[in-house]
Structure 1
Amino acid sequence: MIKKFLFSTLIVLAAFSATFAQSKTKEAAKVEDPDNLASQYFSQVMGVAVNATSNLKLYKFIYEWIGTPYRFGGNTKKGIDCSAFTKAIYDKVFNTTILRNSRDIFSMVNPLSKDELKEGDLVFFKIKSRSISHVGIYLGDNRFAHASSTRGVVISNLNEPYYSRYFYKGGRIIEPGDKEFIEE
């Protein structure tokens, strides 16, 4: 009788243990990997192709800032402008210090046409101005991340009529080892 009771108890405990292990596995599967979340967000929602050659650190950084409101002169998640957003990306993602405003940042690049742009390059705009007034970071597939004065930090398409109209040039930061780099 005692053997039957112990055997029955052992079976119940084994079943309970298996059920508990299954539920933990299901819970763990529900918790998404942050890298996977960022990849899914850019690939599916924003239409940016995130692949094995992409800089996932760049996409994660942008993902964390999406929706941050625009604030001229701002540089925090309470509000940020285009050049501060670009500067933050270069500081945190590329470990490169760039200047603070879009015109000064342009002085640090080799100018590029749209068809020469690669992920991480900069895009410059002359919006209702004769001088550069806006900057963003190119992601590929004509998409770029920036702090829009009307929508905050967003992903936009260079082919949208507004951005196509005001696009000035792309640019790639000149590295200090490059012979074209000029120290100020």
Structure 2
Amino acid sequence: MIKKFLFSTLIALCSITALNAQTAKETNKTEDPDNLASQYFGQVMGVAVDATSNIKLYKFIYEWIGTPYSFGGNTKKGIDCSAFTKAIYDKVFNTTLLRSSRDIFSMVDPLSKEELKEGDLVFFKIKSSRITHIGIYLGDDRFAHASSSRGVVISNLTEPYYARYFYRGGRVIESAKKQLIEE
């Protein structure tokens, strides 16, 4: 009888321990920054984050969402579109870009909207004949950028404003990366 009681107690303790371990694992999963970034983009922003996505890219953007816009700024107190793009390429892709959106365009192979892939650049000519704005393409027509009116946000290329001023997409050319390293 005592053996049966001890065995039942042991089974109960093992079950409780396993349940606690599972709960802790689930709690850690929701508190994990990578998972939080994936949840944010997937559920809140409607961006499809999957196994092929660059989680480092999404985590970086997630940490900057809501940062105010500041022309010439390059910190979390305020940043402009080209500094935001430059920071992403530096930290996520280990690639140095030039400072202005026009100069960055000189480093890319131009692409149409249909050719864009996650991590490509999107360029805009907003009320100008010159490139005035830049962002990072995320897929599903979404892109991250530092908006002059809303700060760092995710927007959609199909929104009338961005569709109107979209100029081209671009993918950084390998030779442009090497040239910067050599200089």
- Normalising TM by the smaller chain, what interval? 0.7 to 0.9
2 CA distance for matches of 1:67 and 1:49? 20
SS where residue 175 of structure 2 aligns?
coil
Alpha carbons of structure 1 residues 76 and 24: separation in structure 2 relative to 1, 3 Å: same
Corresponding residue for 1:174?
173
For residues 32-51 of structure 1, what are the structure 2 equivalents within 5 Å?
A: 32=30, 33-51=32-50
For residues 77-116 of structure 1, what are the structure 2 equivalents within 5 Å?
A: 77-116=76-115
Residue type at the aligned position of 1:121? D
2 CA distance for matches of 1:177 and 1:166? 26
SS where residue 176 of structure 1 aligns?
helix
2 CA distance for matches of 1:158 and 1:131? 19
2 CA distance for matches of 1:50 and 1:92? 19
* Contact 2:143 2:155 (C-alpha < 8 Å) held by counterparts: yes
SS where residue 51 of structure 2 aligns?
coil
SS where residue 96 of structure 1 aligns?
coil
Corresponding residue for 1:29?
26
Residue type at the aligned position of 2:74? N
Where structure 1 has 5 or more consecutive residues not aligned to the other structure, the ranges are none
Aligned identity (percent) is 75
Of 30-39 and 148-157, more deviation after overlay is shown by: 30-39
Q: CA deviation at 1:30?
A: 2.1
Q: CA deviation at 1:36?
A: 1.4
Q: CA deviation at 1:34?
A: 1.8
Q: CA deviation at 1:38?
A: 1.1
Structure label with greater radius of gyration: 1
Where structure 2 has 5 or more consecutive residues not aligned to the other structure, the ranges are none
Q: CA deviation at 1:52?
A: 1.2
2 CA distance for matches of 1:136 and 1:22? 45
2 CA distance for matches of 1:54 and 1:26? 27
1:15-54 CA-to-partner distances (Å, cap 9, x unmatched) read 7897687556534522322221111111111111111111
Structure showing the higher helix proportion among its residues: 2
Name the count of aligned residue pairs: 179
* Contact 2:108 2:171 (C-alpha < 8 Å) held by counterparts: yes
Alpha carbons of structure 1 residues 177 and 98: separation in structure 2 relative to 1, 3 Å: closer
2 CA distance for matches of 1:141 and 1:18? 44
Query: TM (normalized to structure 2)?
Result: 0.84
Please, what is the CA RMSD of the aligned residues? 2.7
Residue type at the aligned position of 1:37? L
